[in-house]
Amino acid sequence: MKILSGNANQPLAEAISAYLNVPLTKAAIRRFSDMEIFVEVLENVRGEDVFIVQPTSFPTNDNLMELLVMIDALKRGSARRITCVMPYFGYARQDRKTGPRTPISAKLVANLLETAGADRVLTIDLHAGQIQGFFDIPTDNLFALPVLCEDFKKHVNKDDKLLVVSPDVGGVVRARAMAKRLDADLAIIDKRRERAGVSEVMNIIGEPEGRRCVLVDDIVDSGGTLCNAAQALIDSGASSVSAYISHGVLSGGAVARVASSPLEMLVTTDSIMATEAIRVCQNIRQVSIAPLLAEAIKRISEEKSVSCLFE
C-alpha cells in the first residue's frame, strides 16, 4: 500500500500516514511559470495499491486538476489500483439541473476522475447521496456523524435539555440520525432562499425554549444560514446554540460572521485544511477524521468490509 498526498490537506494526509504507520510516498508537485501543474512520483508504484489524499476544496479548480494529474502519473507508473481519498468532494452542490441550460458539475467531476484512471473513490458526507450513482467505479461515502457525536458527548452535561436542529428541510435525515444517537428531540428550521448564499428563516418547527440546541449540517460555506438559524433559536428562547458541521468551507467573510454570531461553538471536521483565520477564531474548532479515513483505507487495501464504519 502507498499513500500519496496532494497540496490540498497535507496535515490530514500526515495524520492518516501516522495512524497506519505507512510513510507518505515521495512526490514532487510543482507549477510551471504559467501555473501548469507538474507531478513526479519519486518512488516505484508498479503493482501497488495507491491512495491519493486530496480534498477538492478552495482553490477548488487547482486542487481538482492536481488530483487528475496525480492519477495520470500513477496510471502511467503502472499502479495496480488508484483510490481517490476525497474527504471533501468539490462541486457536489451542483448535483442536478436547477434551471434551463445549467450543468450537473458533480457528474462531470465523476467522469473526469474515471477518465483520468481512478479505480475507486472514498469520501465523507457527500452533499447528496445520489452522487454515488454518478460513478461507474466503487464509491464509499462515509459518515462523519459518529466522530461528531463522540466529540459532542465530551462537551455536554447530563442535565442539559438537548434539541438537535436541522437548518433546513433537506438535512432532516442527518439531524434525525444525530438526535437518535444523542437521545434528543428534533426541530427543523423552515427557511427561504432567494438566491445562492442568501437565506431567511421563516419558521421553527419545534420547541427550542430553554433547550441547548445543536445545529447539524454537511456544509457551512458563507455561514449565513447557520448564523441566521442560531439567532432565530436564541430569539425563541434557546439557552445556547452550537453547530456540528461535516465540512467547514467557510469562504469569504464566513469566519467573521461566525465569530460575531450567537453560536457558542462551531465544530467541523478537518476534511478541509483550516486557514489561519479559522485557527485563531475562538468559537470554531476542528475534530479529526484521520482515524476514520485511515481505518477505511486499511480495510479497502486488505479487501475487508467497511460496513462497520457506517455505524
pLDDT in tens, 87-146: 999 999 999 998 999 999 999 999 999 999 999 999 999 999 899 999 999 999 999 999
Do 92 and 55 contact (CB within 8 A), yes or no? no
pLDDT of residue 197: 53
* Domains of the chain from N-terminus onward: 2-142 (3.40.50.2020), 145-287 (3.40.50.2020)
145-154 and 172-182 helices cross at what angle (nearest 10)?
40
> Quick check: helix, strand or coil at residue 32?
coil
Cell numbers standing for residue 295: 481505518
Q: Which residues pair with 187 in a beta bridge?
A: 165
Residue 158 is a catalytic residue: no
Distance CA 44, CA 241 (A): 51
- Predicted local confidence at residue 202, as pLDDT: 66
- Which spans in 78-135 are helix H? 105-116
Reduced 3-state DSSP string for 183-224: CCEEEEEEEEEEECCEEEEEEEECCCCCCEEEEEEEEECCCH
Residue found by looking up cell 483510490 in the block: 83
CA nearest neighbour of 52 among 103, 116, 102, 121: 121
34 known member of a binding site? yes
Model pLDDT, residue 203: 85
The reported pLDDT for the residue numbered 308 is: 85
Residue 257, marked binder: no
- Mean residue pLDDT of the chain comes to 94
Instruction: Give the residue from 192, 205, 226 showing the smallest Cα distance to 163.
Output: 205
Is 265 annotated for ligand binding?
no
Distance CA 218, CA 175 (A): 10
**Which segments of the chain have a pLDDT < 50?**
none
271 labeled binding residue: no
Is 168 labelled as part of a ligand binding site? yes
For the record, the C-alpha cell of 54 comes out as 486530496
Q: Does the annotation list 62 as a binding residue?
A: no
Pick the catalytic residue from 75, 180, 191, 304.
191
The reply, when asked if residue 133 is annotated as ligand binding, is no
Phi, psi of 182 (to 5 degrees): -95, 0
Q: Where are the beta strands (DSSP E) in the chain?
A: 2-5, 27-31, 37-41, 49-53, 81-86, 120-124, 139-142, 162-166, 185-195, 198-205, 212-220, 240-248, 265-269, 284-287
> For the purposes of burial, counting CB atoms within 10 Å of the CB of 195, is it exposed (0-12), middle (13-18) or buried (19 or more)?
exposed
What is the C-alpha to C-alpha distance for residues 92 and 94, in angstroms, rounded to an integer? 5
12 close to 24: Cβ distance less than 8 angstroms: no
Find out whether 223 is annotated in a ligand binding site: yes
In the prediction, which pLDDT does 175 show? 95
